[in-house]
Structures are given as C-alpha cells and as structure tokens.
Structure 1
Amino acid sequence: MRPFATLALLAAPILLAAASAPVPPAGASADAALANARSEAAAAANKLKSLEAAAAKAGDEAARLGAEQAAAAAAIDEAEAKISESDASLRLAQSQVALAERRLASRRAPLAALLAGLATMGRQPPLLVLADHGSVDEMVRVKALLDTTMPVIERRSAALKTELAERRRLASDADAARAELARSRDLLMLRKQQFAELEGKTAKRAASLAGEAFGVGDRVLASGEALEAAGSEAAARQAARSTAAAVAMLDFAPARPMRGDSALPPSDFAYSLPASGAVIDGLGSVDRAGIVSRGLRLDTGRGAEITVPADGKVVFAAPFRGQDGIVIIDHGRGWTSLLLGVASDRPRGTRVRRGEILGRALGPIGVELRRDGVPISPAFIAASSVPLSNGGNSR
C-alpha cells in the first residue's frame, strides 16, 4: 500500500477518538452565559416594575401637594378679603369717632360761652358790680340759667363721652383685627412657599424616577438582546455538538484519487472553483443567525474575474431578490451550480465551457453545487476532478 494509505490507517484511531471525544467546556460556558442573561433580564424587569410604581406614587404626592397649595391660595384670598373688610370697618369707625367729637364740641359750645361769661364777670371788682344795677340783674339771670341748663349739658356731655369711648374701642379692635389678619396672611404666604418647594422636589423626584425607569428599560432591552444572543450561541453550540456526534458515526471518506494511480480513477465530472480566494464559510457551517451554509463562500475582491466551473448551459443570470447578481448553470446529469454575487452578461441558454470567463465578482462570492437537489461540497468535487491544464476542457 502506498504511504498515503498507510498514513490514513495510522491516523484513523486518532480521528475517531477526536470525533467522539466530549465537546470542550465552551458549551457549558455558553449555558452559564444564557442562565446569567436570563437572571439579569428578570432582575431588570423586576426593578423596572418597582421604579414605575415609585414614579406613580411620586406623581400622586405631587397632585396632593398641588391641591393643598390651591387650598392655601384660597385661604389667602379669604384673608385678603377680611383685611379689606376690616380696613373699611376701621375707616367707618374713625369717621364715626370724628363725627362724635364734632357733635360733642358743638354741644359744649353753649356751656363754654356761659363759663366764659361767668369768668369775665368773676374778674370784675365787686364794688363795680354793686354800682352797676344792670350787672346785678344780669348776674342773677345767668345764675338761674346755669342752674337750669347745667344738668342737661352734663347729661349730654356724658352720653357723648360714652359714645366717643365706644367708637375709640371699636377703632382699637379694628386695628387689632387688621394686625392679626396681616400676620395670618404672612403665615399663609409662607405655607404657599413651602408647598411650592415640596411640589418642586416631588416633581424632580418623579422625573428622576422616570429617567431611571427609562434607563432600566434600556437595560431590559439590552438584557433581552444578550439573552437572545446567548440563546443563539447555545443553539449553535448544540448544533455543533450534534454535527460532531453525527460525523463520529460516519465512515472515513475514500482517499483522494491521484494522477497515475490506476486503482483510484479521477471523477468523471470535471469541476473547478470559479475563482481563487480564501474560504470564508464552508459547506455545513453555521453563522451567527443559525443559518447552515449550503456551499462555499470565497473572499474575492470586487471586479475579480469569474470563470465557468464546469461545462453546461446558463439558465439564469440576473439580480434576484436581495442578491445583486446570480448565475445558475445546468451541467447535466443532475449537476447544477449556483454562483452568488456574480455579474454576467451571458444570456439565458448560452452554452459555456469550463475555464471560460463568465463575469466579474461584485465582492465575496458564494458557490453552491447540487446533484439532484442535494448540496455537495464544490471544493471536494474540484479536488477530485482532473485539473483544467490536464485536459479538463476536453471532457
């Protein structure tokens, strides 16, 4: 047996052990990350609910303080109305006091004139009064008048004094009431200021809680995204474990046929990759979205030359859905090639041969090969085909 076959037999136990060996603990870490993401999402959701409840409570408190402030303002308006009433009562009392004083003065005027006359007569010398017979008669009449009017004047004066004292008392009470209402007004203004400050603090607290709730909501969304990513990663790792287990149950692939080896004849389907470039994804690989690749993805630059992979007929060459360029070639006997990201001017029905220029790459291209609808690795078929330089065009 050739050295290659010997090497394959020696490596068989190692490959089988590697395929059936337990998967590294990366899956366990993914499961732990998924559990942590779920725990963080639940904690963030609970915190969001508590913050929303606190924000609603703060809003109710602000409304209550606003109602109390409105009541305080109404009380202030009532106090101002009472102050205005007291001012009017005070002015009325002062005018009544002034009127009473004028009435008292007018009623005292006759008594004052009489007393003045008596005082004048009292200053005259007694001999002059006796010499003047008219003065004696006048003095007698004045004394009689005084004896008659003095009691009346005294009663009226006493009544006026009582009325004047009552008016002054009312004025004093009005002054006291006005001072008390002024103090009440100052107190109510202070309460209004305090309520305004409390309302401002409560509104700020409610806004702060609302902002914090929005922040927690963002964290909930981030936790949800992390949970989704962790779930996708866990699903991908589970798929990888399943694939590894399935591969472990498969038989070994036959050795690659080599030129000059009559025991391993080359494949009867001449196929080559349409471009040279690094392989980004292979057949069966799973991307982050969980989509399984059905072919190869080559890292070709935009404008790179694309050749025909095998003889056949162009059945489609145009943009389709999300792809800017798709080329489908029917090779016959159930073989079909699908090239993604390729722009070609070959019309439908054109016969093409392996190695001919098909078009240009629009960026990284995808190469899918199927036989009777079943995806097959293009790289494997190309590796088992006769090289183009050794007569591939003639096949």
Structure 2
Amino acid sequence: MSTTTAAQLRGARVSGGRGVPGALAGVLLGAAVLLPADPAWAVDRRDLQNVEQELSRQKAEGERLRREAASAQEEARSLSSQMVDLARRIQDQEEALSALEKRLSALKREEQSIRDALARRQDQTVGVLVAAQRLALRPAETLLAQPTSPSDTVRVAILLREAIPHIRRNADALTSQLGALHHLDTAIRAQRAQIRSTGDKIRSQHVALQTLTRDKQSRVQDLRRRSKDVEQRMGSLTREASDMRDLLRRLDEEKELQAREEASRRAAQQARDEAVRKAAEAQQATGTKPDSGQATVFVPPPPPAPDPSSAARPFSGARGALVSPARGDTVASWGQKLETGETVKGLRIATRFEAQVVALYDGQVVFAGPFKGYGNLLIVDHGEGYHSLLAGLGRIDVSVGQSLTAGEPAGIMPASTVSSAPPVLYVELRRKGQPINPLPWLSASKGSTSG
C-alpha cells in the first residue's frame, strides 16, 4: 500500500472499488454522502490510492470554490462602492435641481414684478402723452386766445416744460425695465434648459443604478432564498408587535434565536466531521475494510460566508459621521412639538418626488415592509444595540438579511402624494429600543439636510 497520511485521508471513509467514483460525485454538494457498499468488495491499496487521488481533486475543487466565493464577495463590495458613489451623484443632482427650480421661481416672481411696474408706468405715460399730443395739435397763437389770465398761461407753460423731462425719464425707465425683462426671459429659458438637462441626468443615473442593483441582487439570490423564512417571520412579527419598541424587541429575540440555531447546527456538523475523521484514521491505521455495510465519503464544505454585519464598523464611533438618507428640507426636528401635540422623536425631511434614499451607516437589514402607522418601513441593525429607521418610502430596494454600507441605495420616495405636497421621509435612531436624537450623529458636511 502506498504511504497515506492522515491529513490526506481526513474526512474520507470508503468501501467498494468501481463504485467509488459514483459516490465521490456527491462530494460536490459539500456534505456527507452515504452509498450502499457491496460486502463482496475489499478495500485494497489500489482503492485507497484512487480515493487519495479523488480527494486531492476534490480539495482542489473546494479551494477553487472558495476562491470564487471570495472573488464574488469582492465583486459585491465593488458593486456596493459603485452604488454608493452613484447614489451620491443622484442626490447631488436632486439638490442642484431643487436649487434650479427655486431660482426659476424667483426669476418668475421678478419678471411678474417688472411687468406690473411696466403696466403702471404705461398707464401714467399714456395719460401724459395724450395730453401733450392734444396741445401739440393746437397752433401756438390759439393759446393766446384762450380765456385765461396771463399767469395761468405761464403756469401751463411751466407744467409742460416740467412734463417733458418726466416723460423722458419714464421712457428711459421703461427701456431699462424692458431690457431687464429680456434678460430675465433669457435666464428663465436657460434655467428651464438646465432643469431638463439635470432631470435627464438623474433619470440616466437611476437607470444605471437599477442596473447595478439588479447585478448585485443576482449575486445575493441565495441570501434572498434563505431570507424567505425570515421574511415570513417578519410578517408575523409585524402583526403581533404592538408598537415600534415591541417590534425591535422581537427582532432582537429573533436574531438571538437564529444565532443559537446556527451555533447548534455548526456544533452538530463539527461533531459529525470529527467522527468521520476518526473513523478514517482508524481505518488507515488498521488497513481493514469498514465493518458496516455502508461507505461514507466526506469532504468538508467551504466555510460559510461571514455575516456581513460582523465586519461593519462600530456604530458607537460614528457620531457626526452618518450619511443623510435623503436630500431635502428638514420640516420637523427632534423634540419639536407638532400641532397634534405629538413630540417628534427623529427627523422629518421633505424630499423631491422619487428622491433617492440611502443607508445612514453600515449594517444589516432586519425589517423591510409596511408597518402600522409608518407606511413602508426599513430597519437596519448597526450592531451594539443601535438601529436606524426610515419610514415613508415609496419603494424599498433591499431585503431582510442584506448587508448595506453607508450611503448605499436602499429605496426611493413616492412618485406622488394625495395632497401634491412633497413626500416626507421620517428618520429615527434607536439604542436598545429607545429613540435618541439623530442630529449629533449626522454629518455636517455636504449631504446633510437643510432646515
């Protein structure tokens, strides 16, 4: 028998000769495979050599799969980075578009003011010009024949002399205002053209972002499939939770339950692996065939991908560094009393229709969907007991279990509202289920909302 090390035969326990290749095909599934063994077959040196060679090939295949998994993770990180950059550009364009529209409104108001002033001046000037025209049609000698005193005639002459410069000044003012009106008209047309161009850029970038989103989503289909059961449990939690604090408590309990189940599953798998390894080593040491009527061929599966949230940056060190989830005007802040008597426990940001919404910080999606009183709600677990809540979205583009990085697209605001008023995004931070003031956590650099 050729020399066979325990490491080479680790995880392998076989019987049978020509039946071995069929059994080894199941190794690709990364789990223990049980095959019927012919008691008449003996395990000889040639069989063990074949097993060694096949195990070597399978180890190489496992390494290749692990490299591909690492490459896929790197591509996913690259896609996330591209999506963050593109979402930031979209938000910049949205902010620029809002500024252009405000400037256009100001230009229109200025234009209307000039038109009103022109109308008033025109009425005054027309009256003076009509009077002057009537006087001009009369010969000068007829003025002397008017039944007026010489002093009245002098006064009329003085008034006419004073009226001429006034008419000229009015004419000059009208000319100036007409010129300003022309410039305003040109500026308004330019603003409208720029608004159209910016709108086209936003639409184009949204298309590019949707392409990246689909690309990334295609790479996390396994995660989506695994999250179906989780999403069903989330639906059950939504129905059972009485309020937001209760929902977050239930989400934390669900997270702990999943962690215990995963730890139990891994412990059981490790126990099975260890039993198979010891059996293979014992078989190698004795050189005897297995005493059971079955043969076990095992290759440990590639290690599972790390939990995306486990590699996230600590949230406690992110004070003053959170990304604003959307561009817009803050219409209600932490602690503000509303007309309804309600006290705001977060931020309310009036945005553009279909505005881009992004994640505030690294984390993992633990809830995505409608929740009583919140509309479409997204909850991201940032670790250390911190959660961010984004409510009022028109569409959520992420799913439960998905990992997000700061600034990564998470959804968009509604395309319309019942009252035609701007849509409002509600932002809330919670620590251990309790709301905290988000303002000190948000970045003061470009991208923060204006109040």
**Structure 1 length as normaliser, TM-score?**
0.43
Looking at CA atoms only, which structure, 1 or 2, has the larger radius of gyration? 1
Structure with the larger helix share: 1
Higher relative contact order (CA 8 A, sep 6+): 2
When the two structures are superposed, what TM-score results if normalisation uses the length of structure 2?
0.38
